[in-house]
Amino acid sequence: MARKRPVVVVTRKLPEVVEARMMELFDTRLNDSDAPMSRDQLREALMTADVLVPTVTDRIDAALLAHAGPRLKLIANYGTGVDNIDVDAAYKRGITVTNTPGVLTEDTADMTMALILAVSRRLVEGERLVRSGAWQGWSPTSMLGHRLWGKRLGILGMGRIGVAVARRARAFGLSIHYHNRRRVHESLEEELEATYWESLDQMLARIDILSVNCPHTPATYHLLSARRLKLLRPHAIIVNTSRGEVIDEAALTRMLRNREIAGAGLDVFEHEPAINPRLRELPNVVLLPHMGSATIEGRIEMGEKVIINIKTFVDGHRPPDRVLPSML
């Protein structure tokens, strides 16, 4: 790129230390309001920027990319998932796409275990009972949940986060089962004492807890369909810290209402920030505002990766976290 200080448009407010570093290195245009950009604002950004730094809330589809100006050569996504970007359309227009893999692994795995505990032991229900003033004291049969020790955890997607979840779950006495596009290395299976299921359907019918850790792609949209959800046993719970689109949310809500599934812990939703009102009414569901990766350390590390990707690209080299259509 000809410009020594490329115009970098950032679509959301980032940690101050990240923004300060970007201002030092680039001609950076910040979003001080932190409100998601409208489609018109995104279109203007695409027309004027050398580099766009979007987040999961920005839908950069083919129709929007058609308005990209000739200067736009890099979309440096602030996040690991790139399902918000039409990577294929960007690639065809000669626009490089990068992401921030790896930095959110431990944070998301922590939140997954927190949700497994919260749903299994009914932590949110208990907290609400105390706050309401309705708690009358200890009782042998009050607020009974289920122990984790000895239960079967099924992990859908055994990537970095899935493996991190498995390592934590082992410490809680859970037996590890997983379904993945590819079987993990034998040494990792041995370390985790993990059982691989080539058939997702067969795994779902045999587990007590399901953790969704696969990305959202066209192939995983509604991977957990109504038919597959019905394979789960009535005492099973589901935890999703990946993407809401992987689950048929309407079907899940119906089954939770009918107690065909015991409970769910959801940090992501199919149409977020909109949430099915019926889902919000259910006592057997823990709902979080997409905060699985929300740690100060994680957000700063994400920003550092974005800066490295931009700096490397501007210097004429291939950025370390380049995403290609074949990688999705």
Q: Which residues are catalytic?
A: 243, 272, 290
Alpha carbon distance 159, 152 (integer Å): 19
Helix boundaries (H) for the chain: 16-25, 39-48, 62-65, 87-92, 105-120, 123-132, 160-171, 186-192, 200-204, 226-229, 249-257, 277-281, 296-314
* Residues sharing a CB contact under 8 Å with residue 274, sequence separation 6 or more, in sequence order: none
- Exposed/middle/buried for residue 79 (C-beta within 10 Å: 0-12, 13-18, 19+): buried
Residue 28 pairs in a beta bridge with 8
